[in-house]
Amino acid sequence: MEQPNLLYIEQLARGEQDVRKALIDVIKSEFPEEKEIYYKSLQKKDFEEIKGNVHRIKHKFSILGLEKSYNLANEYEKNLVDGYLDANQVKDFEAILAVISKYIKTI
Amino acid sequence: MNCITIDDEQMARVIIKTLCSEIKTLNLIEEFSNAIEAIKFLNENQVDLIFLDIHMPNFSGLDFIKTLKDPPKIIFTTSDPKFAIEAFEYDFIVDYLLKPIELPRFEKAIKKAQRFHNIQSSLKSNQNTQIKNDFYVNIDRRLIKIDLPSIYLIEAKGDYINIKTEEKNYIVHSTLKKIEEKLPTSLFLKVHRSYIINVKKIIDIEDNSVLIKKDVVPVSRSNRPELMKRLDLL
């Protein structure tokens, strides 16, 4: 499975440790909140909310260099726009969330 | 350029803040997690540029731009390329940045915004000069037109001001402060609490005075730096 990395963050920070830390701190605080909100919307089966949450979370995928996961999230979002919730996509998306959750504990 | 960013995602706002800090000409004055708060801010403050997310809950970036009466330049920052065509239907949309935004692409967008900003500023300044080429003064119930470039000195005299032009002098019941507001700053400068001069008519400058025509005008210490800034020194 595709693994997250900090290449984009490093590029942005341009060697400045304070900036690097500030960016990582935001991911560490914002991602768990977004994940929780996503799961709540999934429980309610509120497509509008799920779609909005997937859209927000997929930005984190791209920040963490997860290109394939980002494309998967895009497809998932498109299906949600069409009113269709694909069980496999839900499962794949959850797997990515789990990988990120594990990763951000190490940074 | 003074700018703000509007994005419901904190990470996106922090990224914009980081990118802005790399560009000397940008001054990020405020950040907003929703467009409604930004509208309130814009009702009382003027900005040159907005970094705007499109997908935001309840009130999207596209809803937001429809509320703006006199919109500043806007750069869309979004993960979604599908609104690009719609976005460029608005002439104040300068660029459309896809997330994650990288510095070289950001710099390119800012150069574009800066170009637009410069053109707009120069148009405004030209309009200002064109409009303020002359004005009317009320003397003995007659409205007399005075050509602004012909004025070389305006002197405060109690409740009156003496406007000195190439052809003649006009004594008008007014204050220096009132007339100063009507004069183009590109041409005129207050050098002393009682004198405004046309900088183009200066003949020479000594320590604390300037010679204009045959008038020696005092320059106060606080106004001297501005006067020196205006001169085209060798």
- Indicate if B10 and B125 belong to the same structural domain: yes
Residues 29-68 of A with CB under 8 A from B: 29-30, 52, 55-56, 58-60, 62-63
Q: What is the CATH number of the domain that holds B203?
A: 2.40.50.1020
Domain-embedded: residue A2 = no
Q: Identify the domain boundary among B95, B130, B165.
A: B130
The pLDDT of residue B58: 86
User: Do the Cβ atoms of B105 and B82 come closer than 8 Å?
Assistant: no
- Indicate if B61 and B144 belong to the same structural domain: no
Nearest to B14 among A22, A55, A60 (CB): A22
Domain-embedded: residue A1 = no
Measured at the CA of B12, the angle between CA A19 and CA B82, to 5 degrees, comes to 145
Nearest to A55 among B14, B15, B55 (CB): B55
- Indicate if B108 and B191 belong to the same structural domain: no
For A31-89, what is each residue's pLDDT tens digit? Answer: 999 999 999 999 999 999 999 999 999 999 999 999 999 999 999 999 999 999 999 99
Domain that holds residue A72: 7-104
- Supply the pTM of this predicted model: 0.69
Domain-embedded: residue A55 = yes
Complex confidence, ipTM: 0.94
| B-chain residues near A23 (CB < 8 A) | 11, 14-15, 18
Q: How many distinct structural domains can be found in chain B?
A: 2
Q: Identify the domain boundary among B96, B130, B164.
A: B130
HSE, side-chain direction, 13 A CA sphere, residue A72: 19
> Which amino acid would we find at residue B33?
S
Q: Would an 8 Å CB–CB cutoff place A88 in contact with chain B?
A: no
- Indicate if B91 and B157 belong to the same structural domain: no
Question: Residue holding tokens 């003949």?
Answer: B203
Domain that holds residue B30: 2-130
- Indicate if B126 and B162 belong to the same structural domain: no
Alpha-carbon gap, residue A81 to B8, rounded angstroms:
20
- Indicate if B109 and B56 belong to the same structural domain: yes
- Indicate if B25 and B122 belong to the same structural domain: yes
- Indicate if B77 and B177 belong to the same structural domain: no
CA distances from B8 to A1, A55, B27, B107 (A): 30, 11, 20, 23
- Indicate if B96 and B145 belong to the same structural domain: no
- Indicate if B118 and B181 belong to the same structural domain: no
The pLDDT of residue B73: 95
Q: Identify the domain boundary among B106, B130, B154.
A: B130
Alpha-carbon gap, residue B172 to B192, rounded angstroms:
19
Q: How many distinct structural domains can be found in chain A?
A: 1
Q: Which of A56, A59, A68, A62 is nearest to A95 (CA)?
A: A68
Pairing relationship of beta strands B202-205 and B73-78 according to DSSP bridges: unpaired
Tell me the CA end-to-end span of chain A in Å, nearest whole number: 19
Nearest to B99 among A30, A52, A59 (CB): A59
Q: What is the pLDDT along chain B (234 residues), one digit of tens a residue?
A: 999 999 999 999 999 999 999 999 999 999 999 999 999 999 888 899 999 999 998 899 999 999 998 899 999 999 988 888 888 788 899 999 999 999 999 999 999 999 998 888 777 766 655 656 888 998 888 899 999 999 999 999 999 999 999 889 999 999 998 898 888 888 899 999 999 999 999 999 988 899 998 899 999 988 888 888 887 666
Q: What is the CATH number of the domain that holds B70?
A: 3.40.50.2300
- Indicate if B145 and B216 belong to the same structural domain: yes
